A = this chain, B = another copy of it.
Amino acid sequence: MIDLTPIGIIHSPFTGHGQAPRQGRSSNEKMKIEIYPEYQQGIGTMSGISHIWVLYWMDRADRNTLFAKRPEWTEKKPVFTTRSPSRPNPIALSIGKIEDISDGIITVTGLEALDNSLVIDIKPYVVEIDCIFDALNPFEKKE
Q: Please tell me if the beta carbons of B3 and A3 are within 8 angstroms of each other in the complex.
A: yes
Chain B residues with CB under 8 Å of A102's CB are: none
Q: Please tell me if the beta carbons of A42 and B3 are within 8 angstroms of each other in the complex.
A: no
In the complex, the 10 A-B pairs of residues with the closest C-beta atoms, listed nearest first: A44-B78, A48-B141, A42-B66, A50-B136, A2-B4, A80-B122, A131-B131, A124-B138, A51-B135, A49-B138
A87 to chain B, nearest CB (A): 6
Chain B residues with CB under 8 Å of A42's CB are: 66-67, 78-80, 87-88
Q: Is A69 an interface residue (CB 8 A)?
A: no
- Contacting residue for A2 out of B6, B43, B138, B140, CB 8 A: B6
Q: Which of A42-92 contact B (CB under 8 A)?
A: 42-53, 55, 57, 63, 66-67, 77-83, 87-89, 91
- Contacting residue for A88 out of B25, B39, B125, CB 8 A: B39
Once the chains are docked, how many angstroms separate the CA of A121 from the CA of B129? 19
How many of A's residues come within 8 Å of B, CB to CB? Answer: 65
Q: Please tell me if the beta carbons of B83 and A126 are within 8 angstroms of each other in the complex.
A: yes
Q: Which of A12-37 contact B (CB under 8 A)?
A: 23, 25
Extra contacts besides A25-B128, A91-B91 (16): CB < 8 Å: A1-B3, A2-B120, A5-B89, A41-B67, A42-B79, A44-B78, A50-B134, A50-B136, A52-B80, A82-B123, A83-B124, A83-B129, A91-B120, A91-B121, A127-B133, A131-B133
